[in-house]
Structure 1
Amino acid sequence: MARNDPQFNLRVPVELKQKVEEAAKESGRSINAEAVYRLEESFIETIPAEGLNQIVAAYLMGMHSRYLSERDDLVAMLQQKSNNSELKIKIEKYDLLISEIRSNAERLFPNAFKKSDES
């Protein structure tokens, strides 16, 4: 902080001051910098848990779809170049990755693949 920044005198309970001092020591910041940091953090808008769940579910579904598409491309290449062991290994890796993503998504979000399985 610059010396010409405005000052803000604030009364706080002793326990709170001690917590700020401890946090400043742990983080390697001055007491003032720690207090400013924590005040700034309190104004950052957070994503509600429900919204975060939707974001994670959409991300997992997107990754699943992407890897399925890439796997399909490899399978098509393998059909043109039969007995290509390198392609077979890549396809096996994609199969494992797709399976893991789906398993984790279904564990976290039981209805994640319900619509895609019905179609």
Structure 2
Amino acid sequence: MKRYNIPVEAALEVIGGKWKVVILCHLILGTSRPNALNKQMPNITQKMLTQQLRELEHDGVVERKVYNQVPPMVEYSLTEYGWSLKFILDSLCKWGEQHIEKVHGNKYDVLEESILNK
């Protein structure tokens, strides 16, 4: 059994890293295919996206659905357990928006509308 000093360590083990929270924010907006996620996150490599999605799937936060067709189609969505992170993700987005305004004075370009507005 893994031991944690404080509970946030367990949370960061699941959602920590540069890309996992970004992936989760996109999936809150709806089910998505890997290519669509890759287009929404142009700075992530295909290899890293696949790795992060597999880790999120392993932790029970994301579900992978494979359609039996040629060529195979794969979609990712949040599980019920993954949806339990919505409040946390909303809070992070709100803080990020406030941070952009404070530090950059609204001069910072945000490409996608916040999940708070959905």
TM-score above 0.5: no
Higher normalized contact order (CA 8 Å, seq sep 6+, divided by chain length): 2
Larger Rg: 1
* Structure ranking higher in strand proportion: 2
Tell me the TM-score normalised to structure 1 length.
0.28
